[in-house]
Amino acid sequence: MAKAAKTTFRCAECGWTTLKWVGRCGECQAWGTVEEAGAPAPMAVASAPVTSRARPITEISVESAEAVPTGVDELDRVLGGGAVPGGVVLLAGEPGVGKSTLLLEVAAMRAAKAPVLYVTGEESAGQVRLRAERLGALSDQLFLAAETSVATLASHVDAVAPQLLIVDSVQTMVSPRPPESPAA
Which helix (H) or strand (E) is 99 found in, with range?
Answer: helix 99-111
The site for Zn ion, by CB under 5 A, has a size of 7
Helix, strand, or coil here: 109? helix
Instruction: Measure the CA–CA gap between 167 and 158, rounded to whole angstroms.
Output: 15
Residue 25 engages Zn ion in binding (rule: CB under 5 A): yes
Counting Cα atoms < 13 Å in the Cβ hemisphere of 91 gives 19
Residue 13 engages Zn ion in binding (rule: CB under 5 A): yes
CA 105 to chain centre: 22
Closer Cβ to Zn ion, 22 or 170, answer by number: 22
| Contact positions with Zn ion (CB under 5 A) in 83-142 | none
Closer Cβ to Zn ion, 28 or 138, answer by number: 28
The one among 8, 17, 18, 27 contacting Zn ion by CB under 5 A? 27
Which helix (H) or strand (E) is 30 found in, with range?
Answer: none
Closer Cβ to Zn ion, 16 or 143, answer by number: 16
Interface positions with Zn ion (CB under 5 A): 11, 13-14, 16, 25, 27-28
